[in-house]
Structures are given as C-alpha cells and as structure tokens.
C-alpha cells in the first residue's frame, strides 16, 4: 500500500510540529517547510523518523508564489503525490492600525492568506487526478465574528479571508473527491506565547483552561480520516467556547 503524503507549512514547531508527529505515528511521508527555524526543523525531522514516518524538511517562504509552487512540485517529484495539504503557517504581529506600516500590512496577507491560494492551485491537479485529497487551513477562533481588532487588524482580516477561501475551495473541489476545511484555534499552548500571557487569558475562556496542541491535532486527525469524508467547507473551532 502506498504511504500517504502530507505537506505541512509552518511544520517545524508548535501546532505544525504536533500534526507532523501525529502523522508520523501513522507512517505518513511528511514534507514540512519553515523559513527561519533551522534547529527546530532538524529536531522535528528526527522526531518524525523516530516515530515511524519519513521526513522532508524544506526551507521555503510560501508567501512567494513561485517558491510555493516549487515546494509542491518538489514534494510530488519525491513521492509522486500529495494527499494532504495542511496550511499551518500564520505569522502575526501586534500593532495599532494607525501605527502599522504598508509593509507590515501586506506581510499579514502574504503570510496568512495568499499561500493557501498558491498551494491549493499547485496541489489540486494531482488530487483531482486521484479523485481524493484533503486540504486543511488554519484561521482563528473569532475570525467569523468580524469584530473590531485595532491591534491585529490585517492579521484578523486575513484569517477571515481564510474562511471564505476555504468555502470557495470546498465548493470547487468537492466534485473531485477532495475536502477543504478550516480549523480555528483560540488560546493554545503551542509555545508561541509566554505562559504568563496565556494564563492571564484563562478567565476569558468559558471552558476555564488553555487548549493544548493535542486538542488541535485531534481535529486534524479527524478531518484527514475517512469518517470526515462528507465534512467539507466546515470551520472547527478549538477554543473552549472563546470567540463565539
């Protein structure tokens, strides 16, 4: 039986790493890209191998459309297929809208929204030919609420755009046996925020605690499974009821 192949953007650390290690335990071939986290990428690749998977770490800036296309082509050249595209890359910065620069504004769309478009175009022909495939995009827990976000404005708009793009891709690709869904984490202890900052947010979360990487990984595992074959265009919130 052919081993399934996953391409994960932002897979060197945090939630992306957690997804990669979970797939490794299921003997997937896993390509993941990173921009600057060289040490973390090598550590993740080793951990993937130790868990029974095959790793292909690739330094790539997926905000560059040509680089994103070449990334998908490289993975397909190595393993002949991409069964799952998991768009986990999602840089952000916190700055008041009126202090934001044009470069900073554009960077939020270049990093969070545009790569999903580039990579969906790149991987969908192969998925269509095989009449199967999974694409999972990451948004954020309250992006569907469209509330004011003075300090993360561009990031928030980009994440709302992810939800629209997810639905559009789902409608276009469903006839070809491909599902496209979104996962929207709230406050997750993924190593990207100081523990003290996360602890201070607990009182705002109805469930009363911070989520873990495993909570998010479990949702990915479900969406990649046969049990989720009829789930398409959905947005799964992993937030303990925060942001709804």
Domain ranges of the chain: 5-234
Tell me, what's the pLDDT at 192? 74
Tell me the CA distances in angstroms from 202 to 25, 32, 121, 139, 219, one per residue in order. 32, 31, 39, 20, 21
One CATH from 3.90.1150.10, 3.80.30.20, 3.30.70.580, 3.40.50.720 for 5-234: 3.40.50.720
Q: Taking the complete model, does pTM exceed 0.85, yes or no?
A: yes
- Tell me the mean pLDDT in the region 12-31: 97
Sheet of 133-138, strands arranged across? 54-59, 29-34, 5-9, 84-87, 133-138, 178-185, 235-238
Q: Kindly name the residue from 34, 92, 118, 156 that is annotated as catalytic.
A: 156
As a whole number, mean pLDDT of residues 188-195 equals: 80
**Is 118 assigned a catalytic role?**
no
- Quote the pLDDT of residue 1: 60
Taking residues 42-64, what's their average pLDDT? 97
């Amino acid at each position: 039986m052919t081993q399934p192949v996953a391409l994960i953007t932002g897979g060197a650390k945090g939630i992306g790493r957690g997804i990669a290690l979970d797939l490794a335990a299921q003997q997937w071939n896993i390509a993941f890209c990173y921009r600057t986290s060289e040490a973390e990428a090598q550590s993740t690749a080793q951990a993937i191998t130790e868990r029974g998977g095959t790793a292909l770490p690739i330094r790539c800036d997926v905000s560059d459309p040509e680089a994103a296309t070449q990334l998908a082509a490289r993975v397909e050249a190595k393993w002949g297929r991409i069964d799952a595209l998991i768009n986990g890359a999602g840089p952000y910065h916190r700055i008041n809208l009126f202090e934001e620069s044009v470069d900073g504004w554009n960077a939020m769309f270049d990093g969070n929204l545009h790569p999903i478009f580039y990579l969906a175009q790149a991987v969908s022909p192969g998925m269509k030919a095989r009449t199967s495939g999974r694409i999972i995009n990451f948004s954020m827990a309250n992006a569907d609420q469209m509330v004011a976000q003075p300090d993360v404005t561009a990031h928030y708009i980009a994440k709302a755009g992810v939800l629209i793009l997810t639905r559009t891709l789902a409608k276009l690709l469903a006839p070809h046996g491909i599902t496209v869904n979104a996962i929207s984490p709230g406050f997750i202890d993924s190593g990207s925020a100081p523990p003290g900052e996360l602890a201070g947010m607990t009182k705002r979360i109805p469930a009363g605690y911070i989520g873990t990487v495993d909570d998010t990984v479990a949702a990915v595992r479900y969406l990649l499974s046969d049990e989720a074959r009829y789930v398409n265009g959905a947005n799964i919130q992993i937030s303990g009821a925060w942001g709804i």
